[in-house]
Amino acid sequence: MQNTRTCKSCGFSSVIFEEFSNLSLNLLPGASVQEMLQDILTETELEYRCDCGANTSRQQHNFVTLPRVLILHVKRFCFTQFFKLKKLSHPINLHGELMVSSSQVSTNSPEPNIHIWSVGVFNT
Ligand SMILES: [Zn+2]
């Protein structure tokens, strides 16, 4: 994946390439796995002190290539405002295939789809 941070003030960008075989997705109530995957690819704001003195940057993750196997982990736990662990029991909409739009995959990638082969459910 390509992680791009861009200063909102001067526009300076830094790019980091990271290899992943698994991704952790935030459980979004009523959302499909496709939407949860899209959520981590959506541009976010972060606090970062740039050399120009500004404190706010944009961060964007993009797939450069798709791995042969990608493990998606849906985070079913969150912390409450009092820092207690809470299990989320929202149902998850799961389809047999995830589409990754062409803007997130380089043109060298032969197939912009991820096929779901297996689903594991762990109860605690
Ligand atoms: Zn800057």
- Domain assignment present for 33: yes
Residue 72: the pLDDT is 87
Residue 34 lies in a domain: yes
State the distance from the centre of ligand 1 to the C-alpha of 53, rounded, in angstroms: 6
Rounded to the nearest angstrom, the distance between the alpha carbon of 116 and the centre of ligand 1 is 41
Using the mean position of ligand 1's atoms as its centre, give its distance from the Cα of residue 58 in Å. 11
Residue-wise pLDDT for 23-38, tens only, equals 899 999 888 888 998 8
Q: What pairing do the DSSP bridges indicate for beta strands 71-75 and 22-26?
A: parallel
The residue ranking higher by pLDDT, 113 or 1, is 1
Tell me how far the alpha carbon of residue 61 lies from the centroid of ligand 1, in angstroms: 19
Residue 21 lies in a domain: yes
Q: If you average pLDDT over residues 94-119, what whole number do you get?
A: 64
115 forms bridges with which residues in the sheet? 97
- Tens-place pLDDT, residues 67-87: 778 888 899 888 899 999 988
Residue 93 domain boundaries: 2-115
Residue 72 lies in a domain: yes
Sorting pLDDT into bands at 50, 70 and 90, what band is 104? very low
CA of 37 to the centre of ligand 1 (A): 29
Cα 69 to averaged position of ligand 1 atoms, centre (Å) = 37
pLDDT at site 124: 57
**Ligand 1 centroid to 103 CA: how many Å?**
26
* End-to-end alpha carbon distance in the chain: 31
Characterize 25-64 residue by residue with b for buried, 16 or more Cβ atoms within 10 angstroms of its Cβ, and e for exposed: bebbeebebbebbbeebeeeeeebebeeeeeebbebbebe
In a domain, 124, yes or no: no
> How many domains are contained in the chain?
1
Residue 120 lies in a domain: no
Q: How is residue 124 annotated by DSSP? A: -
Please name the residues in contact with 49: beta carbons below 8 A apart, sequence gap of 6 or more.
55
Distances (CA, A) of 39 to 12, 13, 27, 34: 24, 21, 10, 9
* Amino acid found at 32: S
Mean pLDDT across 6-20 = 94
51 alpha carbon – ligand 1 mean position (Å): 6
